[in-house]
Amino acid sequence: GAAAMATVPEVDIDADGTFKYILVRLQRPGGEERRDIVRGTKAAEFHNHIFEKVNPEMEKLGFECKCLGGGKIEHNSKDKKIRVFGLSTGYGKADHSVTVELLKKVYTDYEITWSDDKK
């Protein structure tokens, strides 16, 4: 897979609502290049459902995936606010501050916050 890592969107989350998310690190096998991506959707009942969808997509492109943890995202598109919180039972808590930095690159005019609150 000669796909450039830069072509993989850093953020892919639902346009609205509260849902689970994971932080995933992409790496080229044996390579130094890496990219952290955020994936979240209401369609996922559990955090591993998101990973099970992302992993094969990225493997096809020639990248190894590692889940760095998870949490929840509350996306209020009307008020342009995103809140990152909670954790994943299976993967542990993602570094929400990293997630917020990635979200800010995409949602540039949003107010984006994070906390370790469970809800």
| Contact between 112 and 104 (Cβ < 8 Å) | yes
Q: At residue 118, what are phi and psi to the nearest 5 degrees?
A: -80, -30
Report the chain's C-alpha Rg in angstroms.
14
Annotated ligand binding at 20? The verdict is yes
* Residues that are catalytic: 47
- Give the tokens for residue 118: 């469970």
Residue positions forming the annotated binding site for substrate? 20
Residue positions forming the annotated binding site? 20
